[in-house]
């Protein structure tokens, strides 16, 4: 969390490593339909929202 800044919401630390570990087959919610839309949703919507929420909660 220390590397993440709310001011730079578009910059997610360690995003390359996160993307390598996103596995649609292991996802609980498979509404995206396949790996690519699932990854796009996680990286562009879910993860940024979660990071902002956690940063506000623990800072």
Q: Half-sphere exposure (CA, 13 Å, Cβ side) for 59?
A: 12
Query: Whole domain around residue 24: which residue ranges?
Result: 6-58
Q: Is the pLDDT of residue 12 over 90?
A: no
* Residue 1 within any structural domain of the chain: no
Which residue, 36, 55, 56, 54, is CA-closest to 44?
36
* Residue 47 within any structural domain of the chain: yes
User: In 3-state terms, what secondary structure has residue 38?
Assistant: helix
* Residue 52 within any structural domain of the chain: yes
Total domains in the chain come to: 1
Q: Check residue 25 and give its pLDDT.
A: 93
As a whole number, mean pLDDT of residues 33-38 equals 94
Q: Check residue 2 and give its pLDDT.
A: 61
């Amino acid at each position: 969390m220390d590397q993440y800044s709310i001011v730079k919401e578009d910059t997610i630390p360690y995003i390359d490593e996160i993307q390598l570990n996103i596995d649609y087959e292991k996802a609980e919610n498979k509404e995206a339909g396949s790996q690519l839309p699932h990854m796009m949703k996680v990286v562009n919507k879910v993860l940024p929202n979660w990071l902002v929420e956690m940063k506000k909660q623990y800072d």
